Amino acid sequence: MRSDIWFEDGNVVIQAEGTLFKVHRGVLVANSSVFKDMFSMPQPQPSEGEVNVEGCPVIHVSDSAADVAIILRALFLRGVRLKPLSLEIVMAFFRLGQKYDIKIIRAEALSRLHYEYPLTLEDYDKHFPEPMIPYSVWADIDIANLAREQNLLSLLPVALYALCQCEINATELIPSSRRDDGTTTTLSPSNISACFAAWTTTLPKLQSETTLTWLDPASESWDLTCKKHWCNDIRKKATRRIFVPCVQFVGLCTWGEFRDDYMDPEDNMCHRYVSVAEQAHKDGRIKFWEGLPGAFGLPGWDELGKEREELS
């Protein structure tokens, strides 16, 4: 079957599954060392019965037709820079960019992945208003699996934390999710283990000792000079909403997000306590970020940063 990527003046045909793509060999050679090496080798004469297409040699590849179409559109049609791209496109960019050593495509994929799954809290806060990959639960599952498969560990802290924030119960960690195309993606066993350990033990402890210390009446952030009993009632109500019936992970919530989601509009703490609580929350959030990789059994941010330096 002929695809819509078909240049009449093309000089090579790529076949993926049952789909044909007619393109220019020079563009492939200029962008891919794998294709360059392939075309530099002496090409055997077509054997009797071997089919050329419109006089062009046919290169058979084992990749899916959908992934090949994504890569060829990026190389020959361009126009993807600065636009949000679906996860399917970004993952095809990375996998085939890696396989065929198409540096420009691989770099585009890594740039978007690193933007969506950052190394710093500052960058984490920046990426929400302008995502480069539309969010979905299944996207985080696919990214977490890709990270394990390709040893892109620096993507895991944010991806796994997002999965732990999903609506889950004590007996099932949402190991799978349905993609937009109807197919199902399943979290890998190693990622399920990391998430379950974090969900049951390390993340609740980490957020209690960092972002949420101000909720503990025994902590230094609790202002004992506050005489208004409703401050204590507000604190107790927020604590119940976070931990009952099952723990909510709010360690990276900003102070504004926390007040909107876990306090009522009429919950007005006294001025003295609210200033102490807000500062403790902000300081604790920074510490929570620092401890996030360790909660999933991963190296610290500095070590994960070295991985990205090596990839650049």
Angle between helices 137-150 and 189-197 (to 10 degrees): 110
In a domain, 188, yes or no: no
In a domain, 173, yes or no: no
Question: Is 124 in the same domain as 28?
Answer: yes
In a domain, 276, yes or no: yes
The total domain count for the chain is 2
Last residue of a domain, one of 108, 135, 162: 135
In a domain, 39, yes or no: yes
Higher pLDDT, 217 or 253: 253
Query: 264: domain range?
Result: 205-296
Question: Is 249 in the same domain as 126?
Answer: no
Give 167-179 pLDDT, tens digit per residue: 554 445 555 667 7
202: left (phi over 0), alpha (psi -120 to 50) or beta: alpha
Which DSSP state fits 227?
A: -
Question: Is 231 in the same domain as 128?
Answer: no
For residue 252, pLDDT over 70 is answered with yes
Tracing tokens 């895991």 back to the chain, one arrives at 156
pLDDT at 170: 42
Question: Is 43 in the same domain as 127?
Answer: yes
In a domain, 118, yes or no: yes
Question: Is 8 in the same domain as 128?
Answer: yes
Work out the percent of the chain whose per-residue pLDDT is above 90: 55
In a domain, 147, yes or no: no
In a domain, 199, yes or no: no
Q: What is the pTM of this model?
A: 0.82
In a domain, 156, yes or no: no
Give 57-112 pLDDT, tens digit per residue: 899 999 999 999 999 998 887 755 557 888 899 999 999 999 999 999 999 999 99
Question: Is 124 in the same domain as 230?
Answer: no
Q: With 0-12 CB in 10 A as exposed, 13-18 as middle and 19+ as buried, what is 174?
A: middle
pLDDT at 149: 93
Query: What CATH number does residue 84 fall under?
Result: 3.30.710.10
| Mean model confidence pLDDT for the chain | 86
H/E element, 185: strand 184-186
CA angle 84, 90, 91 (to 5 degrees): 155
